[in-house]
Structure 1
Amino acid sequence: MRIITLMTALAAPLVLAACGPSDDAADMSETPMDDEQMAMDGTDMPMMGDRLTDGGAMKSASAEGTVTAIDPEAGTITIDHGPVPAIEWPAMTMAFEADQQIRDDVKVGDEVSFEFRTGEAGSVVTSIVKK
């Protein structure tokens, strides 16, 4: 998933440059904005979500699932987990970063309850308990 994100981030400026300026962009550059147009009234802009309100901070949540893989080299544990309503995630299987002690506490096939933090930098298991 990181490769797709990186490729998208690298390709987006090229696509935008190829499109060239629109007539609307030319019109906007000729019309200065007044203070009222530039003021932000504290409402979120579309597509910005929580980044405006919490600066992209990590969010904590908990879930239940089954350990499907443990990768000591990558420092990850993959869990097939149910929905996480607190952060509006559907059920999915994903890899979480996890320190060695957490990885050592479980094995593939274990049903677990776990707590984690997630944000722009990724998701990290902070505690895990076998069911």
Structure 2
Amino acid sequence: MKLIFATATALALTAGLAACGKPASKQAAAPAPEAASAMAASTTPDPAAPTGDMGKMAMPAAAKMAKGQGTVTAVDTTANTITLDHGPIAEAGWPAMTMGFKASPALVAQVKAGDKVAFDLKLEGGAGEITAIQKQ
């Protein structure tokens, strides 16, 4: 039984090392006690491997911010949207157009149709969300 276990361990170590692109060592074919020490050595943490600290991982760039000016054409307090007829928004590469934007209930309550406004947008995924709005 020990011979079967030792052989299986040696084969597993050899296959593992081959899969990693490392040449198999003579230790991998050794009897069980040496195979166990080789296995322990192969599980030693790689100093270059990530430590699990998510704060050190590269994260995608933050949402892009943009500013614009326009006229409020509609306000939807149920959907929390403000529709603006706005000028070009260079940061987004958008020409002048009329479109609806999500906004917080507090911002939606500040404006009504016909108001001329300056606004700040958070651009994400091809859409914008109003983060600030000021009547002009």
What TM-score do the two structures reach when normalised by structure 1? 0.55
For residues 76 and 114 of structure 1, the distance between their equivalents in structure 2, rounded to whole angstroms, comes to: 13
In the alignment, structure 2 segments of 5+ residues that lack a partner are 1-58
Tell me: CA distance 1:56–1:119, structure 2 relative to 1, closer, same or farther (3 Å).
farther
* Percent identity between the two aligned chains: 44
Task: Provide the residue aligned with 1:115 in structure 2.
Answer: 120
Aligned length: 78
Task: Provide the residue aligned with 2:78 in structure 1.
Answer: 73
Task: Provide the residue aligned with 2:98 in structure 1.
Answer: 93
Task: Provide the residue aligned with 1:105 in structure 2.
Answer: 110
CA contact (8 A) 1:106 1:130 kept: yes
Task: Provide the residue aligned with 1:129 in structure 2.
Answer: 134
Which aligned runs of 4 or more in structure 1 are off by greater than 4 angstroms?
none
For residues 121 and 81 of structure 1, the distance between their equivalents in structure 2, rounded to whole angstroms, comes to: 16
In the alignment, structure 1 segments of 5+ residues that lack a partner are 1-53
1:8-40 Cα distance to aligned partner (Å, 9 max, x none):
xxxxxxxxxxxxxxxxxxxxxxxxxxxxxxxxx
What TM-score do the two structures reach when normalised by structure 2? 0.53
Higher alpha-carbon Rg: 2
The CA deviation at 1:87 is 2.2
